[in-house]
Amino acid sequence: MLLATGTTMMQKLDFIDKIERLGISYHFEDEIQNQLEQLFNLSTNLGRHLEYDLSTAALQFRLFRQYGFNISCGIFNQFVDPNGKFKDSLYSDLRGLLNLYEAAQVKAQQDKILEEVLAFTTTYLTPEIPHMGSNILENDRYEAYCYISMYEEDECNNKLLLRLAKLDYHLSQMLNKQDLCEILRWGKELDILSKVPYARDRFVECYFWDVGTIYEPRHSFARMTLAKAIAIAGIIDNTYDAYGTLDELKILTEAVERWDGNGIEQLSDYLKTSYMILLNFNKELEEDLSKKQTSAAFMGMDSATKDVMDWMPTHPKLFVALGKHTRLLNDVGSYKFERETGSGMAIECYMKDYNVFEEEAMKKFEDMAVDAWKDINEQCLRLTTFPRKILKVILNLARLCEVVYKQRGDGFTNQRRIEAHIKAILVDSISL
């Protein structure tokens, strides 16, 4: 680490936070983990929570939680008055409140005080920062793009750190463009858009999901593979949602279960094409993995370990929570579009089942998504023996859902909602 031995805890935490925001923390994963482990042990053994100011306490709490150290919410008790309310003196500490707001985003189910923290900081900070959003719920690459320009204006910036961040972003963006060109070439060769009339031209958006989930340059193969998989999944999803008849879908489902091309003669041409695209993609993936001398892979890792492969089919709570979070945000974000197209809508079903109005149903789904986010945080704290690489991929996917389906919208269907993110990752350059 580029840290002097005499630096204080706040200086160390602030430095790690800057590395995170600049998008270069993946270069220093082991060093950051070791530093935070030392600070966590020191904090736990000496019980020195009461000596911290608000900014240090909040930043410490968030970074510890993000890296899997289960620090107690008791660190915030010192900022509460005898009536259980946050002290009035905190209102003047804008930096501390911002750090406190972000600390609340890593809350788990049992963290009741963080519910109060979120309400308190949101109420106070929103008038001061109208478009405030948590970086914890932001896409890593987009946050880096925004923060690099802000950090450059800081008179006390670390020139070496800034230079590294710029070069890293520039090189990553070049690689992202190459990846996307390969994906577009693949889609053009398959001629998906003309063969399947309801297929949507969303190859760029599919790749955006990948960069948001696994952005490290070394995972280029994983990104391109996942982008193709998402594009194919979108076609299959639309087939089941709106375009296949019940009889056709039964035949298609049986074919998928057999995993071969037999017995699909009764399907329409576009359904045959959709299924064969899926089948051929998996054959190509199998061949690619064979060339790499591996039989299985987990996105975001060089290869999947036996422990990971044994764990995944057990329907772990972390996967269940991620599935709920993604499903609920998608239901809310795509509701208006699906209502117009006549697709099946979970929101509408809830309204009928519970005899409630649209707004109440939407709010219920959003609340359940928040609960699922808490479960994700909690499970990441419990799975201390699992590689952080796996947990980070899952967290990144959950964060990306917050971006794509922000403010009850659907960035996958309406690309303008995530246009700024896509341009930052693939188009807009950073001056070196």
Domain membership flag for residue 122: yes
> What's the whole-number mean pLDDT along residues 116-122?
85
Q: Answer yes or no: is 373 within a domain.
A: no
DSSP 302: S
Residue 46 lies in a domain: yes
pLDDT value of residue 67? 93
Q: Is residue 376 part of a domain?
A: no
**Where does 1-80 show beta strands of DSSP type E?**
none
Identity of the residue numbered 403: V
CB distance 350 to 362 below 8 Å = no
Question: What percentage of the chain reaches a pLDDT higher than 90?
Answer: 44
Instruction: Select the more confidently predicted residue: 79 or 3.
Output: 79
| CATH number of the domain where residue 22 is located | 1.50.10.130
How many Cα atoms sit within 13 Å of 85 on the Cβ side? 5
Tokens found for residue 180: 């996307």
Count CB-CB contacts under 10 A for residue 415.
15
**Residue 254 CB contacts under 8 Å (≥ 6 apart), including other chains:** 263
| Closest listed residue to residue 210, CA positions, set 185, 242, 175, 241 | 175
CA angle at residue 319 from 380 to 351, to 5 degrees?
A: 115
Q: Which residue has the higher pLDDT, 366 or 334?
A: 366
pLDDT for 82-108, tens place per residue?
888 888 888 888 889 999 999 999 999
Asked whether residue 151 is assigned to any structural domain, the reply reads: no
Structure confidence at residue 59 (pLDDT)? 95
* Best CA proximity match to 399, nearest among 366, 429, 368, 377: 377
Average of per-residue pLDDT values in the chain: 87
Q: Quick one: pLDDT at residue 224?
A: 92
Q: In terms of residue numbers, what domain contains 93?
A: 9-137
Rounded distance between C-alpha atoms, residue 432 and residue 84, angstroms: 50
Taking the C-alpha atoms of residue 310 and residue 245, their distance in angstroms, rounded to an integer, is: 37
Residues in the chain: 432
How does pLDDT run across 3-47, given as a tens digit for each residue? 555 578 889 999 999 999 999 999 999 999 999 999 999 887 766
d(CA 27, CA 35): 14
User: Has residue 92 been placed in a domain?
Assistant: yes
Extract the tokens encoding 162: 């800034």
Total domain count, the chain: 1
In a domain, 205, yes or no: no
297 domain residue, yes or no: no
Q: How many CB atoms are located within 10 Å of the residue 149 CB?
A: 11
- Residues with Cβ within 8 Å of 19's Cβ and at least 6 positions away in sequence, in order, are 25, 28, 32, 161
Q: What distance in Å separates the CA atoms of residue 232 and residue 199, rounded to the nearest whole number?
A: 9
Percentage of the chain lying above the pLDDT 70 cut:
91
